[in-house]
Structure 1
Amino acid sequence: MRAIFFVILSCFLVIAPKSYSNSLDNLSDSLHHVIQTQTSHHQMDALLSSVRKHKNKLGKDYIPLLMQYAQRARQIKYSKGEMKSYDFIGLEYRYRENFDTAYLYHNKSLEMAIKQKDSTQLFYNYNNLGQVFRKQDITAVAIDYFHKALEISNAVGNLRSSSYTMNTLGTTHIMQKDYDRAMNYFRQSSEIAKQRNDMRTLAYNYGSMGEVFLIEEEVDSAMYYFKTSRDLLIETGSDKGMGVAEHLIGKAYLVKEDYKNAKQQFELALTYHQQGEDIRYQAYCNGYLGKIAIAEKKYEAAHVYLNLAITQAIKVNSLSNIMKAYTWYAELYKRLNKWEDAYKALEKSHIYADRILNEKSNKTIQALEIGFETKQKEQKIELLAAENQIKNQRLRVGFILLAVLLILIVLITYISNILRKQAILKQNNLRQQVLRVQMNPHFIFNVLGSIQNYMLGNEPQKASHYLSQFASLTRATLEYSTEDTITLSDEINMLKNYMELEQMRTPAKFKFEIIYDQDLETDFIQVPPMLVQPFIENAIKHGFKNIDYTGKLSITISDKEEFVEFVIEDNGTGIKEKSNNKKNHRSMAMEIFKKRRKLIQQKHKKDFKFEVLNLNDINTTLSGVKICIHIPILNDD
């Protein structure tokens, strides 16, 4: 049936302009007509393939047709077709470097894939969202998405997808200047590509490895990998990727100061980028041709190349290419002794550098907020599913009770109780996860406010550093929020990261130390995550609030066989009468802790003790609070 539809559709697309010359006088009108009349899901799949196949011919009509397809898919309740079309729309906007719109459509597709539990579509969504952020140099968020994609491809055993994602992870780590990790991903990806005889992915890996060698000033090694990458691409018989391969060779020649060969390579690369209508890479090549012309003292040619590079970069809003072009303009004017023009060009370069940093910071904040909201949605969807499961189980038990004989009532009641307890326990587990997520917004919005203050205070470097550390903590919190246990090492690292962030937010307010025996096997002990953090937060925000001396906060960790003892001690003001608002804040944190403690005791059947002491009550010469928590070790559960 599907093959027959392909034949009919192909014939229709050929004869439609003749048979419907009044209304369907071109390919776009033909596809529009076919989309409007389709009701079969299988035929919708074939139709989407046809729209994708004719992308270049459709030109500006390509995205409107995909939008019409998505609307039709929604009308006939074909969720798979709808979410795939949204992903393709996002992909096209990404190619056009309209990253904000690309993100909206990829995320729209992702939300549907989560509800449908479609692992294949989830892989594409996470990968495409990672590419959106990688193209904007928002590497921490990009890596998070790529890791999710890799986890899915590994789980389903899709080696091709795993190899591709490892390559993108490697290129992203280059942007983070983590070259060892980048090379490790490239090698893993290359091994899979060799097994599959995937020359294209292997070529991309060699090109990327060459970039690492070029950064590390091993020019001959870089040149070898660049040329090998180009030769592999030639073997594939396709021009795809050739432009990048040629301009990478040009960069290696430029480092060698072989300007003649460098110029030839960039001109050849420019030809490929023009054929592919890639304006961003055209701007990139023209900028480097301008740099080469400066080195060769061909200043008029340099002016032409750099002016063209800026014009093209502005067209696609490529801030990095604009910044580089103005930097090279400054060098050009310096060579011509036009010092005032050189200063103006350098000033523009700095302005664009600041814009890049500010946009990166703003987009990272937005991505973190959206990621946090998405995580909450996933948790709520899972909780609702569990509640529906409980209702369905009760209905089934009820029907069974009505259908069986009296002598089976006791047995059925026993089975029903077991099922109900299992379902309630699962629901409790999910509620515990939601409770953990609910602990985060209070801290998140305080930190975001501090980042905003740095940005408004024109301190972008501090804002960027603060933001990077905050992203690490938030990512860890979101990751561990779905886990019952984490290693003691991870817990210590999270607490250390949190206290360092608080120190940055209130400089010179307090000092802290984490004390534990170096022989303590922190990597093997499993504990519930983030139970101690609320007490540390209270010590910092309330204990040290009105003191006129440097606060001291110590966390001592000891292994007591069945549990880990955390002793938190500060030299703050201690526990005194507070205003109602402060009481509410502390009681909320304590209430959440008590709920989590109760759930852990209920599930694992282990003691979970804690004690709060006001040091002034023990010794009037002391001030502060000492808290002792016995957190059960959950390795055996």
Structure 2
Amino acid sequence: TIAVSEVYYQMRSYSEALTVLDSASLSSKIQNPQFENQCRKIDVQLNGVDKNQDLYSNSLNTIRSGNSVSSQEQQSVQQTKDEIVAVLQENKMYDEEIHLRKQSIEFNTKLNNLAEVSKDRVAISKNLDAKGETSAAIKEAEEAVRIVTTIDNPLTEASAFLSVAGLYEKNGQTNKALSAYKKYSDAITRKEAQSESRLIEKSELIRKQKDIEEYTKDVSIGQQTVFRQQLVIYGLLGIILIIGVTSFFIYKNAQASKLANRLLALKSLRGQMNPHFIFNALNSVNQFISQQDERTANQFLSEFAMLMRLVLENSQEDFIPLQKEQEILSLYLKLEHYRFRDKFDYEIKVDENVNPEAIQIPPMLIQPYIENAVWHGLRYKNEKGKLLLHFYRQNRHLVAEITDDGIGRQRSAELKTENQKKHNSTGLKNIEERLAIINKVYQLDYRVHIEDRKNNGTQVSVYLPFIKQS
């Protein structure tokens, strides 16, 4: 019933969506808590924002009158706020959203829910900026940063620093923007460290679970032995049955553990965006500033912020549309071209029979090969080189072909320092491990072919199985 109602809701047929819910039985409504949320969401659309803002305020007053607030009550208030905010944002009702979020700040401050307070202040800052009140927007964003630095929440901290950095940049405060982007980068690094720590904890938990299973198995065998001594024939049959069932579940648990480990490893590898590029990018901004090239520094910062936003948005996804990956790679190449504009030009080519919106690929899979082409092939070339990124179909694969006319792998290896060799090896090894895990988990056939060109340069072909967006 809720699913049918949601279909009408997405079609903006709100009355029909409510009629479907009303037709459900009383027992269904009581047993399914999602009914209340769906009704409230439809009510926002049917009765407008003002009535529901009053309901939201009344909910806050009712909760304040009690001695404590349950997690279910907090969740209900948050859902109501989110539904009203969605309508306010759709209609660009900036003042109304600011008023609503100030109520939320008061509520969450009393609950010491500082992460939500910081998020609301960031949202208020965005509304003020949209109204053209940049100074007030910066003040709100700075307050969000001050609050979030008192708690251990790197993801919320990263969002606050990214917001204030964008406002500093817009207001021409380049040094402050650079400092904020560095703190944003630090927060992302700490978030990745936390993810790695959780991965270790989960691995330890899986190991302990296996120990418990082994101990349980030993106890079970002992009990089966006593039972077999008492009832020989029935005991033997019981042992066979128990061993069969136990073996089946042990096998299923082992398979589930393997899958969980592979998915955790894949998530960890996917989050390892090369910090080498981030630090070099920030150093480039310093260089532009020292050269008093403020316009280029601001332009570089703007493109860099956009790239960081895209990477952050897609870092939790196993697969994203080719169109998004193409946008990320285009921004990355644009930034590298800022730094080495006298070393190479580039072109991104997509064949007409390739639909970037319909095809799914793993995020940040192609970028390391482009980085290798720029840093180890084209950068050392005396004359200006060319890099071509070409997407085309070949049988059941989408091929991403990176071609450069740089100095070639052999000459590049001769010029590399030991540190560069180690960095390059680690980056490509991470990609190989990631492809191996994806192939095992999803039963796919990702592979990479690297070829030295006759007249110097390198050609890397990444074969990506066709995965259409569902």
Q: Same fold (TM over 0.5)?
A: yes
* Alpha-carbon distance in structure 2 between the residues aligned to 1:90 and 1:401: 49
Q: Distance in 1 between matches of 2:351 and 2:383?
A: 29
Residue 106 of structure 1 aligns with which residue? 148
Distance across 2 between alignment mates of 1:522 and 1:45: 48
- Alpha carbons of structure 1 residues 589 and 140: separation in structure 2 relative to 1, 3 Å: farther
Q: Which residue of 2 aligns with 1:362?
A: 179
Q: In structure 1, how many angstroms separate the alpha carbons of the residues matched to 2:425 and 2:159?
A: 40
Stretch deviating more after TM superposition (506-515 or 431-440) = 431-440
Q: Distance in 2 between matches of 1:583 and 1:106?
A: 39
Question: 1:459 Cα deviation (Å)?
Answer: 2.1
Distance 1:97 1:140, change over 3 A: closer
Q: Indicate yes or no: 2:343 matched with 1:509.
A: yes
Are the structure 2 counterparts of residues 580 and 362 from structure 1 closer, same or farther at C-alpha, using a change threshold of 3 Å? closer
Matching residue within 454, 464, 474 for 2:308: 474
Where structure 2 has 5 or more consecutive residues not aligned to the other structure, the ranges are 1-65, 71-108, 126-135, 225-238
Determine if the alignment matches structure 1 residue 528 to structure 2 residue 362. yes
- Which residue of the partner structure matches residue 609 of structure 1? 447
Q: CA 1:635 to 1:89, structure 2 compared with 1: closer, same or farther past 3 Å? A: closer
- For the 8 Å contact 1:567–1:629, the answer to whether it is kept is yes
Are the counterparts in 1 of residues 396 and 465 from structure 2 also a CA contact under 8 Å? yes
1:429 matched residue in structure 2: 263
CA distance in 2, matches of 1:444, 1:634: 30
Deviations 1:155-178 (A, max 9, x none): xxxxxxxxxxxxxxxxxxxxx8xx
Paired position in structure 1 for 2:207:
391
1:587 aligns with one of 425, 440, 444: 425
Provide closer, same or farther for how the CA distance between residues 608 and 357 of structure 1 changes in structure 2, counting only shifts above 3 A. closer
Q: 1:570 to 1:506 in 2, by over 3 A?
A: same
Amino acid paired to 1:625: T
Q: Is the 1:543–1:574 Cα contact (8 Å) retained in structure 2?
A: yes
Q: Which amino acid aligns with 1:472?
A: M
Q: Which residue of 2 aligns with 1:84?
A: 113
TM-aligned CA distance change 1:513 to 1:99, over 3 Å = closer
Tell me, yes or no, if the aligned pair for 2:345 and 2:386 is still in contact at 8 Å: yes
Q: In the alignment, is the contact (CA less than 8 A) between 1:525 and 1:633 conserved in 2?
A: yes
What is the Cα deviation at residue 400 of structure 1? 3.7
> Is 1:447 aligned with 2:281?
yes
Cα distance in 1, alignment partners of residues 392 and 159 from structure 2 = 43
Structure 2 counterpart of 1:414: 248
Does residue 467 of structure 2 align to residue 634 of structure 1? yes
Q: 1:382 to 1:561 in 2, by over 3 A?
A: farther
Contact persistence 1:368–1:471 (CA under 8 A): no
Q: CA deviation at 1:524?
A: 0.9
**Contact 1:510–1:551 (Cα < 8 Å) also in 2:** yes
Tell me what 1:498 maps to. 332
After the TM superposition, which of the residue ranges 441-450 and 382-391 deviates more from structure 2?
Answer: 382-391
Letter in 2 for 1:138: G
The 2-side partners of 1:429 and 1:487 are apart by 20
SS at match of 1:530: coil
- Report sequence identity in percent: 23
How far is the alpha carbon of 1:454 from its aligned partner? 1.3
Query: Using the alignment, how far apart are the partners of 1:101 and 1:467 within structure 2?
Result: 23
Quickly say closer, same or farther: Cα 1:45–1:381, change in 2 above 3 A.
farther
Give the drift of 1:450. 0.5
Q: Is the 8 A contact 1:107 1:129 kept in 2?
A: no
Give the partner amino acid of 1:111: N
The Cα of 1:447 is off from its aligned counterpart by: 0.6
In structure 2, the partner of 1:161 is none
Whether 1:539 aligns to 2:377 is no
Say which SS state the counterpart of residue 330 (structure 2) adopts. helix
Counterparts in 2 of 1:165-184, with a 5 A limit? Answer: none
**CA shift in 2, pair 1:587/1:91, >3 Å:** closer
Residue aligned with 2:427, SS: helix
Q: State the one-letter code of the partner of 1:545.
A: R
Q: Is the 8 A contact 1:379 1:430 kept in 2?
A: no
State the Cα distance separating 1:395 from its structure 2 match. 4.4
Matched residue, 1:569: 403
Q: Is the contact made by 1:564 and 1:630 (CA closer than 8 Å) also made in structure 2?
A: yes
After superposition, the Cα gap between the structure-2 partners of 1:409 and 1:496, relative to the gap in structure 1 and judged at 3 Å, is same
SS at match of 2:386: strand
The secondary structure found in structure 2 opposite 1:573 is coil
Give how far 1:589 is off: 2.4
Report the CA distance between 1:443 and its aligned residue. Answer: 1.0
Give the deviation of 1:628 after TM superposition. Answer: 1.8
Equivalent residue of 1:438, what SS? Answer: coil
Question: Which residue of 176, 187, 191 corresponds with 1:375?
Answer: 191
Quote the offset at 1:498 in angstroms. Answer: 0.8
Task: Using the TM superposition, give the Cα deviation of residue 513 of structure 1 relative to its aligned residue in structure 2, in angstroms.
Answer: 1.0
Counterpart residue number, 1:625: 458
SS at the partner of 1:572?
A: coil
Shift of 1:551: 0.6
Unaligned runs of 5+ in 1: 1-41, 47-79, 115-124, 142-175, 177-352, 617-621
Residues 49-105 of structure 1, C-alpha deviations (whole Å, 9 max, x = no match): xxxxxxxxxxxxxxxxxxxxxxxxxxxxxxx9995368779999x999596675243
Could you tell me the TM-score, scaled by structure 2's length? 0.61
Q: CA deviation at 1:586?
A: 2.9
Is structure 2 residue 290 aligned with structure 1 residue 456? Answer: yes
Inter-partner Cα distance in structure 1 for 2:364 and 2:115: 37
* 1:397, distance to aligned residue in structure 2 (A): 2.3
Residues 612 and 387 of structure 1: is their aligned pair in 2 closer, same or farther, counting only changes over 3 Å? Answer: same
SS of 1:376's partner is helix
**Structure 2 residue identity aligned to 1:103:** V
Higher RCO (C-alpha 8 Å, min separation 6):
2
Which residue of 1 is the match for residue 388 of structure 2?
554
Residue aligning to 1:309: none
Secondary structure of 2:448's match? Answer: strand
